[in-house]
Chains A and B, each alone.
Chain A
């Protein structure tokens, strides 16, 4: 908790003797007493929001565990029908993008806005790449008929109990994840816009930090999804 000293009784807000009025900073909201507190609040808020995203995906991971437990053989077999090459490339792409977004944050902190912009753009490109590769994978699945529920007509796994369930879980989890990739991409594009407009500097860069945090979550979810769906 920020520990600004207790103001003397009866003083109106905002005037601390001998110091610059923090409210001259245009980024400081009227109800916060310092940028330090406001930034801390923003970070805490984002971490809480990331917590909600984790809980959202947790339900899907639960569904995966339950059905894997019911149909272990089928799930093992079905995961071999996923394109491991594309999945691995996607994993590398996402992990790299997490690295570049962290570097972008670090660059802004150090005042190197041009580098930061380039790194952010690269991150966004990675996101796009991920989505394209995912698109290829989905297209392939559509052709094969390896689809969820009533749409399932995958010849190679016909008759295996729970086969359609694997693909239901696959499409739901990767679909929800892809949606979050799109959202994350939109956030990063917005951050890039503001960066190019000159909004950020070494004293104010919290949106870059928060956007980066969100992107890390998107990456983290994939890091769990990938082995569960593709590797085991």
Chain B
């Protein structure tokens, strides 16, 4: 089939063809999947894995929220509760958030977006999947049998002195780190060396820029958490006393080492989401991205500046006021980069031709949540305010606004955008919009009360709480059930669509993204022929048409 860089030959109502022999069925049998070197299959396996992780993490979250419906013990004991929020945090962060968008959509889309046949190191790619499975299994087994109750942040000296077995969990996290490093390394090399002729750096889709920035952070920051888990584990098992004040150690050193990774880690989570946003908004508004260069550079900016902001998690740890001030200012700079992106995304909508569908609703939700969540981030970076908010539900609400409100909206948008490409089928668009509304509303109902709880002074990780916090907690739990309901609806119609959905065709959205230039689902080799890439990415006009240029 002759394929052109602009898909005017394919109107949505014509040529909805399902690629019969595609990457999903080209080789048969479980062994062919487990030994695959195809980035698309690896992406699909990551997809199933992270969704399972999300389900687990969600169950733990629901248990936590149900327990918090009353101020007294409700369902479970204090120790079980502490293990539940530890599990929720560890599973959601290490097993879901970090690998999700890069592992699923980075793997699937990156080579397609670059016109490549695969990532640079396909065997390393498969290895990173295996390492992910191994690390995840170890973490889950470790928490369940060992009873880890330290919270996902496992601060010393509590983590080094608690009688609970922690070593398997820490070792599991250590192993998961390698998965992250290998993925990041792979993507960086892919972007540097496997761009098809014609795709220069400034013609790469913005999702690729986002993945590039993410991968840099993955490669540079993850070793430090590896070291931290190693040191805490060794101290716990061997009594080395590196963080034990009784032996001359300093527990705050552990916090520095921990947050040196864990702050950039949040940008590992958010940058790919921002990349997805750029793709979605451009596609559904049928418009060039307003300020392409600024969005590209601001991704790099966030990655760079994000490395120097970690101390804002430690404002009341006994750190010097000078350090506190320095970290505060640097953290605010990251906000500036985010503001640039937000303005540019909204600017993209200006004079667009917007098609409303599930992904677009998620995009709108994303815009609201990232501004609200981002600015509350600036608020907690304001040192005097953080004294009150640190380790309260205000912070919990802030990061859930970003991690759920922004990142998971983006993840859902990505699923709904690329599902037709990955599986060749369309889901029911009406239901996708219904689910999106449930999710946006449920999310607000869950987490806005938590901002107020933080204001009122309710600390984090509280099994029982003073009675005056009851109303807000009940609201929050109610909201979370709405949120859970939304996810269940999505799961139902997506699984249904896999079998019974309409055929999507190569480009149901008439998107100008490069990945839409091949069949749905793609053939194993990605493209039958090499393509021309004469235009900027995301430009929407018919060939030969007069293009209007506007400068704001």
* A59 adjacent to B224 (CB under 8 Å): yes
Partner of A162, one of B227, B248, B257: B248
Which chain A residues (153-167) contact chain B, with CB distance < 8 Å?
Answer: 161-162, 164-165
Q: Determine whether the beta carbon of B240 is less than 8 Å from that of A148.
A: yes
Residues of B within 8 A of A29 (CB): 122
CA distance A169 to B235 in the complex (A): 12
A169 to B230, CA, bound (A): 13
- A residues 1-50 near B (Cβ < 8 Å) are 1-7, 9-13, 29-32, 37, 40-41, 44-45, 48-49
Supposing A1-B192, A9-B531, A45-B185 touch, asked if A149 and B220 sit within 8 A by C-beta, the answer is: no
Q: Does B222 sit within 8 A of A, measured CB to CB?
A: yes
> Which chain A residues border B549 with CB–CB below 8 Å?
none
Q: How far is the CA of A50 from the CA of B423 in the complex (A)?
A: 38
Task: Name the residue of chain A whose CB is nearest to the CB of B120.
Answer: A41
> A55-B223, A63-B253, A66-B253 are known contacts. Are A40 and B242 too (CB-CB below 8 A)?
no
Contacts A9-B531, A56-B226, A149-B240; is A71 near B248 (CB within 8 Å)?
yes
Q: How far is the CB of B519 from chain A (nearest CB, A)?
A: 16
Which of B192, B247, B260, B530 is in CB contact (< 8 Å) with A41?
B192
**Which chain B residues have a beta carbon within 8 Å of chain A's beta carbons?**
2, 111, 116-122, 124, 181, 185-186, 188-189, 192-195, 197-198, 219-224, 226-228, 230-231, 234-235, 238-242, 244, 247-250, 253, 256-257, 260, 528-532
A-B contact pairs, 29 of them (CB 8 A): A3-B197, A5-B197, A6-B530, A11-B529, A41-B193, A41-B194, A45-B186, A49-B181, A52-B185, A55-B220, A55-B223, A56-B224, A58-B223, A58-B224, A59-B228, A59-B260, A63-B231, A63-B242, A66-B250, A66-B253, A149-B238, A149-B242, A150-B241, A152-B247, A165-B241, A165-B249, A172-B231, A172-B242, A176-B230
A13, A44, A149: which contacts B188 (Cβ < 8 A)?
A: A44
Contact of A70 among B194, B195, B248 (CB under 8 A): B248
Give A residues with C-beta under 8 Å from B: 1-7, 9-13, 29-32, 37, 40-41, 44-45, 48-49, 51-53, 55-56, 58-60, 62-63, 66-67, 70-71, 148-152, 161-162, 164-165, 168-169, 171-172, 176
Do residues B248 and A67 form an inter-chain contact, with CB atoms below 8 A?
yes
Write the nearest CB–CB distance from B30 to chain A, whole angstroms. Answer: 23
* Residues of chain A within 8 A of B532, CB atoms compared: 6, 9
Distance from B171 Cβ to chain A, minimum over Cβ atoms (Å): 15
Chain A: minimal CB distance from B109 (Å): 16
Q: When chains A and B are docked, how far (Å) is the Cα of A29 from the Cα of B228?
A: 37
Known: A2-B193, A45-B189. 6 other contacts (CB 8 A): A1-B195, A11-B530, A56-B224, A59-B223, A149-B238, A150-B239
Return chain A residues, CB-CB under 8 Å to B124. Answer: 45
Given contacts A66-B250, A161-B248, contact A168 B188 (CB under 8 A): no
| Chain A interface SS verdict (over half) | helix
A151 B249 Cβ-Cβ under 8 A: no
A166 and chain B: residue at smallest CB distance = B248
CA of A45 to CA of B116 in the docked complex: distance in angstroms? 17
Across the two chains, which residue of chain B brings its CB closest to A12? B529
Q: Is the CB of A6 within 8 A of B197?
A: yes
**A11–B185 CA distance with the chains assembled, in angstroms:** 31
State the Cβ distance, B322 to closest chain A Cβ, in Å: 16
The interface residues of chain A lying within 8 Å CB-to-CB of B235 are 149
A218 to B357: give the CA distance in the assembly, Å: 54
A48 to B223, CA, bound (A): 12
Greatest chain B CB density within 10 A among A52, A63, A67 is at: A52
Q: Could you say which residues of chain A place their CB within 8 Å of the CB of B256?
A: 62
Q: How far is the CB of B217 from chain A (nearest CB, A)?
A: 11
Instruction: Tell me the nearest residue of chain B to A161, going by C-beta.
Output: B248
Tell me the nearest residue of chain A to B185, going by C-beta: A48
Q: How far is A52 from B307 in the complex, measured between Cα atoms in Å?
A: 15
CB distance from B468 to the nearest CB of A (A): 42
Chain B interface mostly helix, strand, loop or mixed?
helix
The distance from the CB of B125 to the nearest CB of chain A, in whole angstroms, is 11
Q: Do residues A7 and B240 form an inter-chain contact, with CB atoms below 8 A?
A: no
B238 contact from A10, A48, A58, A148, Cβ within 8 A: A148
B58 to chain A, nearest CB (A): 32
In the complex the two chains form, is B227's CB within 8 Å of A13's CB? no
Give chain A nearest CB distance to B25 CB in angstroms: 20
B223–A53 CB distance below 8 A: yes
With A12-B529, A149-B235, A165-B247 in contact, do A45 and B198 touch (Cβ < 8 Å)?
A: no
Asked whether A13 lies within 8 Å of B530 as measured between CB atoms, the reply is yes
**Chain B residues with CB under 8 A of A56:** 223-224, 226-227
Would A4 and B223 count as touching, CB distance under 8 A?
A: no
Q: Are A55 and B239 in contact (CB under 8 A)?
A: no
- Distance to closest chain B CB from A155 (angstroms): 17
Q: Are A172 and B234 in contact (CB-based, < 8 A)?
A: yes
CA distance A10 to B124 in the complex (A): 31
10 closest cross-chain pairs (CB), A and B = A149-B241, A150-B239, A6-B197, A31-B117, A149-B240, A56-B223, A59-B227, A55-B223, A31-B118, A41-B193
Using CB atoms, name the residue of chain B closest to A74: B248
Q: How far is the CA of A226 from the CA of B370 in the complex (A)?
A: 48
A31, A37, A48: which contacts B219 (Cβ < 8 A)? A48
Contact between chains at B224 and A164 (CB < 8 Å): no
Residues of A within 8 A of B248 (CB): 67, 70-71, 161-162, 164-165
Known contacts: A9-B531, A49-B185, A172-B242. The answer to whether A164 contacts B223 by CB under 8 A is no
> Considering the chains assembled together, what is the distance between the CA atoms of A202 and B185 in angstroms?
28
Q: Report whether A52 and B181 are in contact in the complex, using a CB–CB cutoff of 8 Å.
A: yes
Which residues of B are found within 8 Å of A9, using beta-carbon distances? Answer: 529-532
- In whole angstroms, how far apart are the Cα atoms of A68 and B290 in the complex? 52
Report Cα–Cα, A31/B256, bound state, in Å.
Answer: 42
**Closest beta carbon of chain B to A46's beta carbon, Å:** 9
Of B2, B117, B119, B239, which contacts A30 at CB under 8 A?
B117
Q: Taking A59-B257, A172-B234 as contacts, is the C-beta distance between A70 and B250 under 8 angstroms?
A: yes
Chain B residue nearest in CB terms to A8? B530
A66 to B228, CA, bound (A): 15
Known: A10-B529, A45-B120, A52-B181. A32 touches B224 (CB 8 A): no
Known: A149-B235, A165-B247. A44 touches B227 (CB 8 A): no
Do residues B241 and A164 form an inter-chain contact, with CB atoms below 8 A?
A: yes
Instruction: Report A-chain residues with C-beta under 8 Å of the C-beta of B529.
Output: 9-13
Give the chain B neighbours of A41 by CB distance below 8 A. Answer: 120-121, 189, 192-194
A168 to B532, CA, bound (A): 59
**Bound Cα distance from A207 to B301, whole angstroms:** 35
Shortest Cβ distance from B317 into chain A, in angstroms?
14
Instruction: Say whether, besides A52-B222, A53-B223, A150-B241, A37 and B530 are in contact (CB < 8 Å).
Output: no
Contact of B242 among A30, A48, A168 (CB under 8 A): A168
